Amino acid sequence: MNKEKSKIRLLIIDDETEFRAAISQGLSRRGFDVAEAANGEEGLTAIRKSLPDIVLLDQKMPGLSGIETLKEIRNISEDLPVIILTGHGDFNTAFAGIKLDIVDFIQKPVDVDSLSEHIHSLLTRKTDDTMREPTIAELMAPPDLYPKVYSDEPMTSVLKAISDAYRKPIPEDSKYGQVRSALVYNREEKFRGMIRFSDLLQLLIPDALRDSPYASFFTGMLLAQSKIFGRHTIESLVQKQTFVDINTPLMEAVHLIVEHKLINIPVVNNEKLVGILRGRDIILAASKLAGAYL
């Protein structure tokens, strides 16, 4: 009796009869309690009648599609683990807006042994943070990590501020690493934006070279431009800035960082700077999530 109770109750929703039968038979031999549904409607009826431990759901089905079925499943249960069966390259943005915290993906054709391990792994990770997308608030670095300069100061001030911060020894217990940007405020202490190493490099290139397809270069140009560079004020680099709200979806922030070729992006809440979202921290989070789905 205890052995029966410990079985994982799995519902497979797929319109392919032979595939369902093969998977059902294979998983049953491996100790699963498997129920079958030939389409989304049957699957939802079965879930409403008796909630399984996990659902194996085909993405492409006639009638109610896998995406539509998943939406309805989330109306029934927000935390029911679901594995989506996809064909090669089938995954697309149609899943946007659906709760995907405890949803995994596996491509057809499916090896039963690998699928069994996948199911056990997903159920084990159900309460793990690796099954939940982090928020911007959880990933962002604190503003006081970065040096502060004022918009009316000369460019040499931001050069010194970033250089000093970059050379500053990193505490052993720090998770943030070296700083390569500075925060810009006006004299009324209103946040204006950020200046990054990449911004400074762009300013070193003369306008004539930046805009001309026939640019030529020679020794001594950097020396000359550096002297001109020091006459600029910080204000000239913070005219157009890109920000992200703290409640913005993480993927939107990723899009802005890529679109504007940034290494980080300021995070604001009610027009007040509350943190800095860095590309490196997004990559680390993505690596963690990717590891969860292997």
Report pLDDT digits (tens) over 170-202. 766 667 777 889 999 999 999 999 988 888 887
Q: What is the pTM of this model?
A: 0.63
The last residue of one of the domains, among 132, 157, 174, is: 132
The last residue of one of the domains, among 99, 132, 165, is: 132
The last residue of one of the domains, among 112, 132, 152, is: 132
Q: Which of 85, 95, 105, 92 has the alpha carbon at shortest distance from 43?
A: 85
Give the whole-angstrom CA distance, residue 246 versus residue 229: 34
> Backbone phi, then psi, for 186, in 5-degree steps?
-90, 180
pLDDT band for position 90 (cuts 50, 70, 90): low
pLDDT surpasses 60 at 294? no
pLDDT band for position 42 (cuts 50, 70, 90): very high
Q: What is the arithmetic mean of pLDDT over 94-99?
A: 58
Give the whole-angstrom CA distance, residue 200 versus residue 243: 19
More confident residue, 205 or 258: 258
pLDDT at 192: 92
How do residues 56-81 score in pLDDT, each as one tens digit? Answer: 999 889 999 888 899 899 899 988 99
Q: What is the arithmetic mean of pLDDT over 83-98?
A: 64
Same domain (yes/no): 279, 148 = yes
> Backbone phi, then psi, for 103, in 5-degree steps?
-120, 135
pLDDT band for position 10 (cuts 50, 70, 90): very high
CATH of the domain at 18: 3.40.50.2300
Give the whole-angstrom CA distance, residue 152 versus residue 241: 17
Q: What is the arithmetic mean of pLDDT over 195-220?
A: 78
Same domain (yes/no): 63, 87 = yes
Same domain (yes/no): 89, 169 = no
pLDDT band for position 16 (cuts 50, 70, 90): very high
The count of domains in the chain is: 2
pLDDT surpasses 50 at 2? no
Average pLDDT, the chain: 84
CATH of the domain at 231: 3.10.580.10
Q: What is the arithmetic mean of pLDDT over 34-42?
A: 96
106: enclosing H helix or E strand: strand 103-107
Same domain (yes/no): 191, 49 = no
Same domain (yes/no): 112, 34 = yes
pLDDT band for position 128 (cuts 50, 70, 90): low
Cis peptide upstream of residue 266 (ω within 30 degrees of 0):
no
More confident residue, 14 or 162: 14
Same domain (yes/no): 44, 188 = no
Same domain (yes/no): 148, 283 = yes
Same domain (yes/no): 169, 108 = no
pLDDT band for position 101 (cuts 50, 70, 90): low
pLDDT surpasses 80 at 97? no
CB–CB of 289/133 below 8 Å? Answer: yes
Same domain (yes/no): 165, 224 = yes
pLDDT at 219: 85
pLDDT at 5: 52
pLDDT at 269: 93
Same domain (yes/no): 203, 178 = yes
Per-residue CA distances from 208 to 11, 212, 217 (Å) = 66, 6, 11
Parent domain of 225 = 137-290
Same domain (yes/no): 101, 242 = no
CA 115 and chain centroid, separation: 25
Q: What is the arithmetic mean of pLDDT over 226-232?
A: 75
How do residues 266-287 score in pLDDT, each as one tens digit? Answer: 999 988 999 999 999 999 888 8
Same domain (yes/no): 101, 218 = no
pLDDT surpasses 60 at 249? yes
pLDDT at 1: 39
